[in-house]
């Protein structure tokens, strides 16, 4: 099969670990006096190992997801992702995989939004609407073929 | 507020529907079953579980207006038809034809027609002769998934992922004619309910809209916005049309009361109450056809029947 983006750029992983915010959070983690709500780093930890549907790299390695593009407001989690190329036909699979992994991993009362980062894909509006449609997302995981692809992505690379 | 909890489904409950006598409630779920609950001594008791039709999530369920039939639609693309034999509902036919998920089923008022809609962008009209159901016609007028359908007498309305509403009428040329209406919803239309000449739509744009339907026109009356912060999956009029309820993915249910009639004779509704109904998304709300009991169901696998004491 012809790869759409045969030589994707690979990024250094774990850069965020040097940010002041992350260092402070790490220090607080062991302090029993301080509450640790689910934050963007915890969300990132869940999604960073997902395997790209096309390449043998993780979404973190391809910079498709990063902690700066995750927002949390109470029990609302919004993950923005950046496809490697604006016409990437894998964007739908990546979005569904992100959404389904988060649905499985987070407490059930969380509202999860997965969106393509602004101006990063030619079908951005169309795909964002799909990721928001609960019925379509849930029907996708009842489709054995699609579920296999999604589970393979979730299985990831560690 | 008095509320009864109906607990037996093993997965999210997608939809609920009242029997026209107001005594039986049907619910359908991702657990691939339909459950029937009957009011006995002020308590809802599970009287029947229908699990012999669908192999995937059951998305929609509907009683015919005479209570003789029950229909269901599932993600397995099948429409199920059950008939009441005097003591129980029994599966009489599985209607195949949809290419992918069925998202809505609805009976015409005279029970002569059953309509179904789905992700394949079509609406199917089924009719029956000697209890043998067959396809009357397939209508493809939407550009995207058809999410919901509702009959008003022999006219059918559908709402879609393409944000539009379509009306189908059976013309003098023995064909189904359709007309599409862009009713200014900014996203998917998730539900339609009708009371007399009032039509209510709810949408993923977090608003609900009220329209007057008469003389072949659809005239906007009111937009309800700012009350819910997530998609509104369902809306339902009370039996007397004095109230309607909305159920949303923000876990809340809101109730609106008719509070004025404008100079053109159109009613306006005002918020009566809004409350946290479940811990997860409210997928469907349905007012009882005889009283002010409101049934609702959620992703948390439960059904609640609220006595609103309006």
Residues B175-191 pLDDT 10s: 899 999 999 999 999 99
- Of A21 and A113, which is predicted with more confidence? A113
| Chain B residues inside the 8 Å CB shell of A108 | 279-280, 299-300
- Record: contact B147-A135, CB cut-off 8 A: yes
pLDDT of B32 over the 80 cut:
yes
Q: For chain A, list residues whose CB is within 8 angstroms of any CB belonging to chain B.
A: 108-109, 111, 129, 132-136, 138-139, 142
Decide: residue A74, CB within 10 A, 0-12 exposed, 13-18 middle, 19+ buried.
exposed
| Chain B residues inside the 8 Å CB shell of A129 | 161, 187-188
pLDDT of A95 over the 90 cut:
yes
Distance separating alpha carbons of residues B38 and B146, to the nearest angstrom: 31
Mean pLDDT of A12-24: 86
Most A-contacting residue of B145, B160, B205, B247 (CB-CB within 10 A), to test interface: B145
Would you list the domain boundaries of chain A? 15-155
Tell me the shortest Cα–Cα distance from A71 to chain B, in angstroms: 17
Q: What is the pLDDT of residue A36?
A: 84
CA A34 to chain centre: 27
Tell me the shortest Cα–Cα distance from B159 to chain A, in angstroms: 15
Q: What is the pLDDT of residue A1?
A: 59
Q: For chain B, list residues whose CB is within 8 angstroms of any CB belonging to chain A.
A: 30, 56-57, 59, 75, 100-101, 103, 119, 145, 147, 161, 187-188, 204, 230-231, 249, 279-281, 299-300
- Record: contact B56-A133, CB cut-off 8 A: no
- Record: contact B57-A138, CB cut-off 8 A: yes
Name the closest residue on chain B to residue A110, using Cα atoms: B280
Mean pLDDT of B87-105: 98
Q: What is the pLDDT of residue A158?
A: 66
Taking the model in full, what pTM does it have? 0.95
Q: Are B6 and B27 in contact (CB under 8 A)?
A: yes
Tell me the shortest Cα–Cα distance from B279 to chain A, in angstroms: 6
- Of B253 and B154, which is predicted with more confidence? B253
Gyration radius of chain B over CA positions: 18
Question: How many CB atoms sit inside 10 A of residue B149's CB?
Answer: 26
Interval B97-129: pLDDT, tens:
999 999 999 999 999 999 999 999 999 999 999
| Chain A residues inside the 8 Å CB shell of B100 | 139
Interval A124-145: pLDDT, tens:
999 999 999 999 999 999 999 9
3-state secondary structure string, chain A? CCCCCCCCCCCCCCHHHHCHHHHHHHHHCCCCCCCCCCCHHHHHHHHCCCECCCCCCECCCCCCCCHHHEEEECCEEEEEECCCCCCCCCHHHHHHHHHHHHHHHCCCCCEEEEEECCCCCCCHHHHHHHHHCHHHHHHHCCCHHHHHHHHHHHHCCC
Tell me the shortest Cα–Cα distance from B53 to chain A, in angstroms: 16
Name the closest residue on chain A to residue B77, using Cα atoms: A139
Q: Are B111 and B62 in contact (CB under 8 A)?
A: no
Domain A15-155 is found in CATH 3.40.640.10: no
Of A111, A134, A142, the CB nearest to B75: A142
Q: ipTM score of the complex?
A: 0.92
pLDDT of A3 over the 80 cut:
no
Q: Are B178 and B166 in contact (CB under 8 A)?
A: yes
Q: Are A41 and A16 in contact (CB under 8 A)?
A: yes
Name the closest residue on chain B to residue A130, using Cα atoms: B161
Distance separating alpha carbons of residues B131 and B114, to the nearest angstrom: 12
Cα-Cα-Cα-Cα torsion B212, B218, B219, B223, nearest 10 degrees, comes to 80
């Amino acid at each position: 099969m012809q790869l759409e983006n045969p030589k994707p750029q690979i990024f250094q992983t774990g850069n965020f670990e040097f940010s002041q915010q992350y260092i402070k959070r790490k220090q607080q983690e062991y302090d029993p006096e301080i509450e640790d709500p689910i934050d963007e780093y915890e969300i990132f930890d869940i999604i960073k190992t997902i395997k790209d549907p096309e390449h043998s790299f993780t979404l973190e390695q391809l910079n498709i997801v990063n902690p700066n593009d995750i927002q949390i407001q109470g029990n609302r989690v919004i993950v923005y992702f950046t496809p490697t190329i604006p016409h990437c036909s894998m964007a739908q699979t990546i979005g569904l995989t992100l959404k389904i992994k988060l649905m499985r991993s987070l407490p059930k009362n969380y509202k999860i939004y997965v969106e393509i980062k602004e101006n990063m894909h030619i079908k951005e509006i169309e795909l964002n609407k799909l990721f928001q449609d609960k019925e379509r997302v849930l029907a996708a995981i009842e489709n054995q073929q699609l579920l296999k692809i999604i589970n393979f992505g979730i299985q990831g690379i560690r | 507020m008095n509320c009864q909890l109906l607990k037996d489904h093993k997965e999210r409950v997608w939809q609920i529907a009242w029997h026209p006598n107001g005594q039986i409630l049907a619910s359908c779920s991702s657990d691939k079953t339909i459950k029937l609950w009957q009011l006995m001594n002020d308590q809802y008791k599970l009287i029947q579980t229908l699990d012999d039709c669908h192999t995937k999530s059951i998305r929609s369920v509907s009683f015919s207006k005479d209570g003789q039939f029950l229909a269901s639609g599932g993600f397995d693309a099948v429409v199920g038809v059950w008939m009441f034999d005097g003591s129980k509902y029994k599966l009489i036919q599985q209607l195949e034809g949809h290419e992918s998920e069925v998202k809505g089923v609805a009976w015409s008022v005279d029970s002569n027609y059953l309509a179904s809609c789905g992700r394949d962008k079509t609406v199917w009209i089924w009719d029956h002769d000697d209890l043998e159901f067959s396809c009357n016609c397939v209508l493809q007028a939407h550009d995207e998934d058809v999410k919901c359908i509702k009959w008003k007498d022999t006219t059918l309305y559908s709402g879609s992922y393409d944000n539009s509403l379509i009306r189908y009428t059976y013309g003098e040329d023995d064909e189904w004619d359709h007309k599409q209406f862009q009713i200014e919803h900014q996203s998917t239309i998730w539900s339609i309910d009708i009371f007399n000449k009032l039509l209510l739509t709810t949408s993923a744009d977090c608003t609900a809209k009220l329209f007057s339907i008469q003389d072949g026109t659809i005239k906007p009356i009111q937009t309800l916005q700012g009350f819910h912060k997530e998609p509104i999956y369902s809306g339902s009029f009370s039996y007397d049309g004095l109230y309607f309820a909305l159920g949303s993915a923000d876990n809340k249910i809101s109730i609106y009361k008719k509070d004025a009639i404008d100079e053109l004779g159109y009613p306006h509704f005002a918020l009566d109450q809004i409350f946290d109904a479940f811990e997860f998304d409210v997928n469907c709300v349905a007012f009882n056809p005889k009283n002010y009991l409101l049934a609702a169901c959620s992703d948390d696998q439960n059904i609640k029947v609220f006595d609103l004491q309006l």
